[in-house]
């Protein structure tokens, strides 16, 4: 008889998805252990653009269900975590040389409002020309129109910690600095080995959830029976932080170099600018911004806000998107999340995903392993669960 501790679900990875699955599992009454090799929210989930949004630009690639799901989740988060998720005015300036024309923008924003269920704050308007000079020093040269709509901003790492705290309130356990070494499935039960700074330990579970983010396939390699998982590209995205503040809202501009969308955002009294897209092939732990990416972002910011021309970059950071491997620019690849089951059907791996949709993704993961576990006492519906302060 194996006397190692038993859990219904063991989760590998303490980013937003690991925390979300811990919360969704505990809400169903399951016993949960989450293992994080570093500290909670130290991976991709503190390197994002920090936006809780539907993703206006995904309308152009026809990803309507993704946009609708994210806008729905934005609605829940604004209700359940008002201390962490805040609606912000987003400004979309249209210049003579901007690739999208005002009519196109108007149509896109109308569809966006529709997909948001025409709820309060889903509407947009054109900013009156008289007020353009109040937009943080936005360049007025060749400016033709400015649209204003609403989306939300968060602190991604604080959000991840709050979701995990919510999971813990419902009984989930989590260990930081605990790295999964290997796991083996025998007769429908996983034996899981992990090491902390002090010791090596073994636990058992019925289900394993691989929420390893950019390490997703590295985690899979440690499991028996072996499964190669899905082929992916890791796509690096960098942000820079500029000392001078942007206070009026979030600006959605086009890089003058390649016309990609770039956000210029207020961030704790400074300005955050991002992001880039660059295929990355190294160890996820070593991803870091390149000077080329930093220059690209600084050039974009100072093109639209001349006040940044002589500003130094205070800090920069890079994160990794997990995208399906395929030809073509990363910018236009689908961003939908995939839940992949291994041969045993009891290890579920999360590929890709959005910070915004973590709750829906996590609920979906739990739905896919529910049948493997006995019914437990239902605790809560995460759609209506307030996140702790
Ligand atoms: C540049 C960029 C900008 C983005 N902007 C936005 C945005 O504005 N809005 C939005 O909705 N989404 C955004 N996203 C997407 C979002 O940030 C990610 O989908 C999300 O953070 C991924 O979370 P995760 O939990 O899957 O991965 P991670 O946060 O990377 O977590 C995985 C964790 O697994 C741990 N781990 C790995 N291997 C092991 C092991 N063997 N043992 C134990 N632990 C292990 C890692 O240490 C890590 O903490 C952005 C992504 C990027 C890259």
For residue range 364-378, list pLDDT tens digits in order: 999 999 999 999 999
Give CA–CA dist 377/363, Å, rounded. Answer: 16
Q: Does the C-beta of 219 come closer than 6 Å to ligand 1?
A: yes
Domain assignments of the chain as residue spans, ordered by start: 6-44+157-231+335-384, 232-324
Average pLDDT, the chain: 94
Q: Which of 10, 11, 13, 239 to mutate to test the pocket of ligand 1 (most atoms within 8 A of CB)?
A: 13
> What is the reported pLDDT for 230?
94
> What is the reported pLDDT for 340?
96
Q: Does the C-beta of 344 come closer than 6 Å to ligand 1?
A: no
Can 6-44+157-231+335-384 and 232-324 be said to share one CATH topology? no
Give CA–CA dist 173/183, Å, rounded. Answer: 19
Q: What is the pLDDT of residues 21-80, one digit of tens each?
A: 999 999 999 999 999 999 999 999 999 999 999 988 888 888 898 999 999 999 999 999
Give CA–CA dist 78/159, Å, rounded. Answer: 12
Q: What is the pLDDT of residues 292-325, one digit of tens each?
A: 999 999 999 999 999 998 888 999 999 999 998 8
Q: Does the C-beta of 15 come closer than 6 Å to ligand 1?
A: yes
pLDDT surpasses 70 at 212 = yes
Q: Reply yes or no on domain 6-44+157-231+335-384 having CATH 3.40.50.970.
A: no
For atom 27 of ligand 1, the residue with the nearest CA is 213
DSSP secondary structure code for residue 62 in this structure: T
Angle formed by the axes of helices 156-169 and 16-27, nearest 10°: 20
Q: Does the C-beta of 49 come closer than 6 Å to ligand 1?
A: yes
- Retrieve residue 106's tokens: 């108007």
How far does residue 321's CA lie from ligand 1's centre (Å)? Answer: 8
Q: Does the C-beta of 54 come closer than 6 Å to ligand 1?
A: no
What homologous superfamily does CATH list for 232-324? D-Amino Acid Oxidase, subunit A, domain 2 (3.30.9.10)
> What is the reported pLDDT for 2?
77
How far does residue 338's CA lie from ligand 1's centre (Å)? Answer: 14
> What is the reported pLDDT for 93?
97
Give CA–CA dist 331/364, Å, rounded. Answer: 26
In this prediction the pTM is 0.96
**What is the rounded average pLDDT of the residues 327-350?**
81
């Amino acid at each position: 008889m194996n006397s190692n501790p038993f859990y219904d679900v063991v989760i590998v990875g303490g980013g937003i998805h690991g925390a979300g699955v811990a919360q969704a599992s505990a809400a169903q009454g399951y016993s949960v252990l989450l293992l994080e090799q570093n500290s909670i929210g130290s991976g991709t989930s503190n390197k994002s653009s920090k936006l809780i949004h539907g993703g206006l630009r995904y309308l152009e690639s026809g990803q309507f269900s993704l946009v609708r799901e994210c806008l729905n989740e934005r609605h829940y988060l604004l209700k359940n975590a008002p201390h962490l998720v805040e609606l912000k005015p987003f400004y979309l300036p249209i210049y003579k040389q901007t690739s999208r024309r005002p009519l196109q923008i108007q149509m896109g924003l109308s569809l966006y409002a529709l997909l948001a269920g025409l709820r309060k704050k889903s509407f947009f308007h054109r900013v009156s020309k008289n007020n353009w000079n109040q937009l943080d020093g936005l360049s007025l040269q060749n400016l033709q129109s400015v649209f204003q709509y609403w989306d939300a901003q968060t602190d991604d790492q604080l959000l991840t910690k709050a979701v995990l705290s919510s999971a813990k309130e419902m009984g989930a356990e989590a260990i930081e600095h605990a790295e999964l070494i290997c796991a083996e499935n025998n007769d429908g039960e996983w034996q899981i080995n992990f090491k902390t700074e002090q010791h090596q330990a073994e636990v058992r579970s019925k289900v394993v959830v691989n929420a390893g983010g950019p390490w997703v396939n590295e985690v899979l390699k440690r499991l028996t029976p072996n499964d190669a998982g899905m082929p992916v590209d890791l796509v690096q995205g960098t942000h820079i932080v500029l000392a001078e503040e942007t206070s009026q809202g979030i600006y959605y501009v086009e890089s003058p170099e390649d016309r990609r969308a770039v956000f210029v955002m207020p961030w704790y009294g400074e300005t955050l600018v991002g992001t880039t897209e660059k295929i990355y092939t190294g160890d996820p732990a070593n991803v870091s911004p390149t000077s080329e990416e930093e220059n690209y972002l600084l050039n974009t910011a100072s093109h639209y806000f001349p006040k940044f021309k002589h500003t130094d970059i205070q800090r920069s950071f890079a994160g990794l998107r997990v995208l399906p491997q395929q030809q073509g620019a990363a910018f236009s690849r689908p961003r939908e999340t995939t839940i992949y089951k291994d041969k045993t059907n009891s290890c579920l791996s999360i590929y890709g995903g959005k910070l915004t949709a973590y709750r829906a993704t996590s609920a979906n993961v739990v739905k896919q392993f529910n049948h493997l576990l006995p019914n437990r006492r239902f605790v809560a519906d995460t759609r209506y669960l307030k996140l702790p302060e």
